C-alpha cells in the first residue's frame, strides 16, 4: 500500500508541475515540487524507502520535463542520499528545518544540474539559467510550509508512517 500512495503522489506532483504551476510563475520562475517532495520523503522515511522514492521522483521529473533523460534521476538519488545521511541529526518536524533543508538541497541540486549541463553543452549559454537558481531556491523555500502540511495530511489520512523514524 505505501508504494501505491507514493506513486500516486508523484503522479499528482507531475501533473501539477506540468500544468498548473506556470500560472503562479514569477519572472518565469516556478517552484519545483519534485525537489520539495524529495526533501519531504527523505526527511520522513528510512533510507531504503527514501532511495526508491527519490529514484521514482527523479524518473518522473525526467519523463515530464525537458532536459537530459536520466540526469534528474541520478541527481535526485544523490541529493536524497545526502539528506538521509544527515536526517538523524535534524528534527525533521520543525518548520525551520524543513525550510532550511529544502533551501540547501535546492541550491545543491541546481548547482549540480548546471555543472552537468556545462560539461555536456559547451555551446549553450548557461548564464540565464544560473541567475534562476537562487530564485528557484527561494521560491521552493517559501512554499515548503503549505506543501509539507498537505503531504503530512495526505499521508496520515492513509495511515502512512510519514513522520516515524525507522
Render the burial of 57-84: b for 16+ CB within 10 Å, e for the rest: bbbbbbebeeeeeebbbebbbebbebbb
Angstrom distance (rounded) from CA 106 to CA 102:
6
Please give the Cα distance from 52 to 3 (Å, whole number): 10
Q: Where are the domains of the chain?
A: 31-157
pLDDT of residue 123: 54
Rounded Cα distance between 92 and 87, Å, is: 7
Question: What's the confidence (pLDDT) of residue 55?
Answer: 93
Chain Cα centroid distance, residue 19:
17
Helix then strand then coil, in percent of the chain rounded to 5, is: 75, 0, 20
pLDDT at position 165: 42
Q: What is the value of pTM for the model shown?
A: 0.84
Rounded to whole angstroms, the Cα distance separating 12 from 124 reads 32
Nearest to 72 by CA among 53, 59, 83: 59
What pLDDT does 163 receive?
Answer: 46
Helix spans in 87-126 (H): 95-120
Res 164: pLDDT: 44
At 131 the pLDDT is 76
Which parts of 20-92 fold into alpha helices (H)? 33-44, 47-64, 71-86
Residue 29 forms beta bridges with which residues? 26
Distance CA 137, CA 109 (A): 10
Per residue of the chain (166 residues), give pLDDT as tens.
478 888 888 999 999 988 888 788 777 788 889 999 999 888 888 888 888 899 999 999 999 888 788 889 999 999 999 998 888 787 767 788 888 888 999 999 988 888 887 777 655 666 677 777 888 888 888 888 998 888 888 877 776 654 444 3
Alpha-carbon gap, residue 91 to 117, rounded angstroms: 34
Amino acid at each position: 500500500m505505501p508504494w501505491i500512495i507514493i506513486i500516486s503522489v508523484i503522479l499528482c506532483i507531475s501533473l501539477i508541475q506540468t500544468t498548473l504551476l506556470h500560472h503562479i510563475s514569477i519572472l518565469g520562475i516556478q517552484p519545483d515540487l519534485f525537489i520539495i517532495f524529495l526533501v519531504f520523503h527523505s526527511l520522513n522515511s528510512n533510507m531504503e524507502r527514501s532511495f526508491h522514492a527519490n529514484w521514482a521522483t527523479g524518473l518522473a521529473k525526467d519523463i515530464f520535463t525537458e532536459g537530459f533523460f536520466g540526469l534528474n534521476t541520478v541527481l535526485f538519488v544523490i541529493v536524497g542520499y545526502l539528506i538521509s545521511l544527515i536526517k538523524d541529526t535534524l528534527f525533521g518536524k520543525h518548520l525551520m528545518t524543513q525550510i532550511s533543508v529544502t533551501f540547501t538541497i535546492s541550491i545543491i541540486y541546481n548547482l549540480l544540474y548546471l555543472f552537468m549541463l556545462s560539461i555536456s553543452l559547451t555551446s549553450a549559454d548557461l548564464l540565464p539559467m544560473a541567475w534562476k537558481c537562487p530564485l528557484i531556491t527561494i521560491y521552493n523555500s517559501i512554499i515548503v510550509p503549505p506543501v509539507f502540511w498537505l503531504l503530512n495530511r495526505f499521508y496520515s489520512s492513509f495511515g502512512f508512517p510519514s513522520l516515524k523514524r525507522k
